[in-house]
A and B are shown apart, each in its own frame.
Chain A
Amino acid sequence: MKIIVCLKQVPKNDSILRISETGDWIQDRDLTYEINESDAYALEEALQLKEKHGGEVIALSLGPARVQSVIKEALARGADRGLHLEDPAFDKLDAFGIGAVIAAAAKTEQFDLLLTGLQSDDFGFAQTGVVAAELLGAPHATIVMAVEVAEGSMRVKRELESGYFQWVTLPSPAVLTIQSGINTLRYATLKGIMAAKKKEIKKLDAAALGLDSNVLAPKQQIRRVYFPQKTKLTEMLEGSPSEVAAKLLDRLANEARVF
């Protein structure tokens, strides 16, 4: 089977974040980057499916030249080739735009499965995979915990709320968004890194994908980014010990929602 895995490069989670001069995002100088966490699990799932069923894993990433490092990382871990979607027009895309570019790129391949992580660690929209699926007219499942592939279809386990799970059967080709922690990530090996140099990374831009500015025009916009303000508030609860205890319990349950 042919599997495309979408990998987003995000700032490392111990980065010191500063708001950019324009106030609508963070400064990108001094940042170091890594593979988005749930995307790494999607890659691992793809590699394990390939080991079980054969086929090919294609590592896809969208962004400036620096995102090639996540593609190379995936190639070092065992992906077969890379797709790098790069165009100045892709710089400030919203989730819909990103989904549209990915869908256009996926159409150039006869894929059986398109995997993304559940959500990105920077924006956290959790929409990219779903948007791409809709634009491809393919079925999708989100928050996937396990994938069982059969001839022409697959059974997947979805995580619901409160410890419930759901098994869904989908025909292929399909799009799955993968939950973190569902498998054990492998390390790249030094041999894998050396072998990755010989693997192809194909670059596709907006023109090659036949995307015009209408499709890419943002449908939503971040207007301002700011740090949450830390505030402290002390409130004295009055009454007898049992009244105070009841009030405290009420606050904890209904305001702080710690129960």
Chain B
Amino acid sequence: MNRLFNLPTLITIAVMIVFLPIVQRPVVAAEVLTLGIAALATNLLLGYTGLLSFGHAMFFGVGAYSAGILAVKFGFSAFAAIPLAVLITAVVSWLIGLVCVRRSGLYFIMITLAFNQMFYFIAYSWTSMTGGEDGLPGLRRPALIADQWSFYIFTVIVFLITIVLMKRFVDSPTGRILQAIRDNPARAAAIGYNVERYKLIAFAISGLFTGLAGAIFAFVFEIVPIDKIHLLFSGDIVFMTLIGGSASFIGPLIGAAFYTWLQETVSLYWDRWPMVLGIVFALVVLFFRTGIVGMAEALAQKALGKKAAKTASGEPAEARQ
């Protein structure tokens, strides 16, 4: 049997899990891992299926609000609220996917964007449930994971389970068929694969994991801020995915860490920190299409002075728009 992760990926994951809570507060480390789950999930669509969604804040938000509302309004514990929220998001993303996958290219992007706005306005106006503009406060972590460190360990466990499931998914027949659809949808159809059906599977699974990220995020700062369901946050998730490198499985996680680091450090000195984000993004898109991981791979190859083997099987190629 093939090994699930290659060595550099394993090292990256281990180093991040160990050092994140040392260089940052454990809650921030937990935030990085949850954003990482969202970015990795987004990459199932972007890198592996070739679909750019500007609607993933919607799934993150549905996960976060579902968990938050279940916990605050109905008294569910986090351990019950999170799985239920994942279930809800899975249903929502499947339904929305039914509409979205009928279109491709720009139209697909615009539909995801429109749905995202719709969900934002629901969150904005349904104040009795969502708290509207002020967000939904008042979540409480259960006693078992109440303090920062135990919550971080909880997040790590969920994170590890998630990436194992995701990697198995991309290495599965369906994962390979999705990459084929990304490369050449007409041929994939001629071979006998129902392209829309496979895109829907990718969409729903991507939404499901993004919802999981949102549900955990709700307990990171024990509040659901409304900006996490806003369109701009969809852009942020895409930013994390691309800056980390959509051509590698683990790249988006690095992107999520980089994004959080920018936010945590630059925002202390400058209110307009998103401008830095924008500049970095422009540079990546213009000069480093393969993101941080792509750059690191290129540097490593130079340093080793040899042409290392091309990306291993199961790694997505550079995403195309």
Pairing of A with B: no
Chain A residues near B (Cβ < 8 Å): none
Chain B residues near A (Cβ < 8 Å): none
